Amino acid sequence: MRSAIVFILGIAAGLLVLPAIAYVYFVFGRPPVAVADDAFPFEKQVVRVPLHARIEAEMPKQPPIPASDENLVAGANIYREQCASCHGMKGHPSAFGASMYPQTPQLWQKHKNGVVGVSDDEPGMTYWRVKNGIRLTGMPSYQKLLNDTQLWQVSLLLSKADKPLPAAAEEAVSKPIAR
């Protein structure tokens, strides 16, 4: 009987002590909150797993518009205006995006796996990200800034980042932005 009471008191103390330690840790500003700080333990996994599950569940499976030259050119102009300052241009990565945490993906550069930007993602996945944004990354939601057609035009453009683009689209995403 006595050992059961000690066991229960130990569990109760653990349930009180652990939250108290976490509270003190947060109140005294110990978590990594600055861009230059190392990542919080398991931070990437805590964010990545539910994000991918939600996108997979909610993303549209088929674009409602074709990846026509007209839509790709329109997407390139939208990208240049709305996205390039963080995600860079073709041959011109963004210094601004490199100073964010997490660093902003440069959508016209090859990554370690050889893929250009998000060209290996389904257009619906990119559409979901552009429309909804992603918390704690600096990626805003564009659902109130762009209409649905514009969201799709940018998403289709980015799905073709590893392929030849119409000349006007190529020019829009290659020409450096004057500062």
Give the pLDDT band of residue 3 (cuts 50, 70, 90): confident
Task: Tell me: do 18 and 53 sit in the same domain.
Answer: no
Give the pLDDT band of residue 141 (cuts 50, 70, 90): very high
- Decide if 179 is inside a domain: no
Q: Which pLDDT tens digit goes with each residue over 116-132?
A: 999 999 999 999 999 99
Whole domain around residue 55: which residue ranges? 43-174
Share of the chain above pLDDT 90, in %: 60
Task: Fill in the amino acid letter for 75.
Answer: G
Task: Tell me: do 68 and 21 sit in the same domain.
Answer: no
Task: Tell me: do 19 and 50 sit in the same domain.
Answer: no
- Decide if 37 is inside a domain: no
User: Which H or E element spans position 46?
Assistant: helix 43-58
Task: Tell me: do 62 and 144 sit in the same domain.
Answer: yes
Task: Tell me: do 57 and 93 sit in the same domain.
Answer: yes
Q: SS3 for 20?
A: helix
* Count: domains in the chain: 2
Its pTM stands at 0.81
Task: Tell me: do 2 and 52 sit in the same domain.
Answer: no
Write the CB contacts of 103 (distance below 8 Å, at least 6 apart in sequence). Answer: 97
Could you tell me which residue, 30 or 6, shows the higher pLDDT? 6
Q: How far apart are CA 134 and CA 139, in angstroms?
A: 5
Report the CATH number at residue 68: 1.10.760.10
CA angle 125, 174, 120 (to 5 degrees): 25
Q: Which pLDDT tens digit goes with each residue over 11-56?
A: 887 788 888 887 887 787 677 777 677 877 777 777 788 889 999 9
Task: Tell me: do 49 and 84 sit in the same domain.
Answer: yes
Task: Tell me: do 57 and 8 sit in the same domain.
Answer: no
